[in-house]
Structures are given as structure tokens and as C-alpha cells.
């Protein structure tokens, strides 16, 4: 139905990353099902995140399929995962003022988290025991204290990306064993802040990171 961009490689996950500021204006989007989901958000930052990540998806779909969001039919599952027709596989994530979209030829999951949001959690024993298995806890504990936040952030995004890729009914982080379910994980420096980013697929892939400017202006 849609012709793909010549740059689309079936063994590459294309990850689009964008940073927005607090002054971004949330405007109506298509389709109406997404617009309603955005407008239901009472928290201003969450509303901006959902708006900006949808604008970034529009940009990414145009790069690879020649059509933006208005060229697809969208659905949202009970666990909050968005999907569309025409085998256009994508995954969305956001944290603070950063939004991320992953485009792939097959099933894909992406997650991004600000490392700073794990500074307290890395020393919260109850939280760590709730989300990590024994091997993962050991991996965290042997880290230097200054690196524990980023290690926990990477483990968390690893688990989230696998959950999104598999599209399970609910997120149970402890049951997702990062030692057995691979993901491409890395740290990004964006606007002076560190973010953990993970991409999960069913097969080994190359991950291409594309930083995008203020496309919502």
C-alpha cells in the first residue's frame, strides 16, 4: 500500500530522537483517537510529551513510508500500545523533554528514561527487589555508587523495551530477564542531560540514531 523510502533497510531499526522545550504548544492532531488521548491528559508535561512524540512519529513515517500519520489507521491496545495498518511497525517513548520513535520492518520496542529519575530509586532496596532478579541485582550492586543510577536506568529501559516489543498484557519488570532477552542499550547525552535508551527486537539488528530538530514549530 505504501512505498518505502530507499534508505529503509530491513535489518536496521531507525530511532528518531527529539528534544522540546516547555513552551511547545499542543495543537490538534490526527487521528481523533490520538487527539482525544492527548487532550485527556491533565498534566501539562505529559500532554506535551504525547503531542511531541506523535509529531515525531508523523515525521518518521514520512521518511520511510512517504505518508504521515494521516495516511494510516491507528489502534491502541488495552496496555496502551499504539499500532497501525500496512505493517508499519513502530514504538514510542518519552521522558522529561525528550521523545523517541523507533521504526522497524518487524516488531520493535523502544524506551527512554532520564538517568536522573533513578538517582533515588537506585538506593531504594524495596524498589530494586521488586524490579530486578538476583543476577541483575548483583550487577547493580557491584557498580560504583556514581554509576548505579545509570545502570538501573539501562536495566529498566531494557525491560520496558522488551515488554513493548512483545506487547504483553501488563508490565511485570522482574519477570523480564535481561540476561536472556537481549536489547540494544546505550546512554545518550541530550541537552546536557543523560538518558538511557533501549531497543528490543526479535533478531539482531543495527540501530541508527537520528536526532531531529524542532519539527513542531
pLDDT on residue 10: 83
153 — pLDDT class (breaks 50, 70, 90): very high
pLDDT of 6 higher than 60: no
pLDDT of 101 higher than 60: yes
pLDDT on residue 107: 94
pLDDT on residue 167: 87
pLDDT on residue 7: 61
Query: Do residues 94 and 50 touch, judged by C-beta distance below 8 A?
Result: yes
Secondary structure of 37-55 in the HEC alphabet?
Answer: HHHCCCCHHHHHHHHHHHH
Q: Mapping DSSP to helix (H, G, I), strand (E, B) and coil, where does residue 30 land?
A: coil
Amino acid at each position: 500500500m505504501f512505498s518505502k523510502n530507499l534508505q529503509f533497510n530491513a535489518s536496521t531499526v531507525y530511532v528518531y530522537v527529539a528534544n522540546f522545550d516547555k513552551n511547545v504548544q499542543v495543537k490538534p492532531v490526527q487521528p481523533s483517537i490520538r487527539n482525544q488521548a492527548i487532550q485527556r491528559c491533565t498534566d501539562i508535561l505529559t500532554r506535551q510529551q504525547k503531542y511531541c512524540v506523535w509529531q515525531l512519529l508523523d515525521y518518521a513515517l514520512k521518511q520511510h513510508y512517504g505518508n504521515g500519520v494521516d495516511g494510516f489507521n491507528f489502534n491502541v491496545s488495552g496496555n496502551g500500545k499504539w499500532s497501525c495498518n500496512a505493517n508499519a511497525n513502530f514504538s514510542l517513548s518519552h521522558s522529561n523533554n525528550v521523545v523517541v520513535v523507533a521504526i522497524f520492518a518487524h516488531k520493535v520496542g523502544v524506551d527512554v528514561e532520564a538517568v536522573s529519575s533513578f538517582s533515588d530509586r537506585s538506593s531504594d532496596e524495596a524498589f530494586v527487589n521488586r524490579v530486578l532478579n538476583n543476577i541483575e541485582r548483583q550487577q547493580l550492586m557491584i557498580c560504583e555508587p556514581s554509576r548505579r543510577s545509570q545502570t538501573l536506568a539501562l536495566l529498566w529501559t531494557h525491560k520496558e523495551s522488551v515488554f513493548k516489543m512483545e506487547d504483553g498484557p501488563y508490565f511485570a519488570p522482574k519477570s523480564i530477564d535481561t540476561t536472556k532477552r537481549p536489547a540494544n542499550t546505550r546512554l545518550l547525552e541530550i541537552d546536557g542531560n543523560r538518558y538511557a535508551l533501549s531497543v528490543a527486537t526479535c533478531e539482531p539488528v543495527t540501530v541508527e540514531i537520528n536526532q531531529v530538530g524542532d519539527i513542531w514549530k
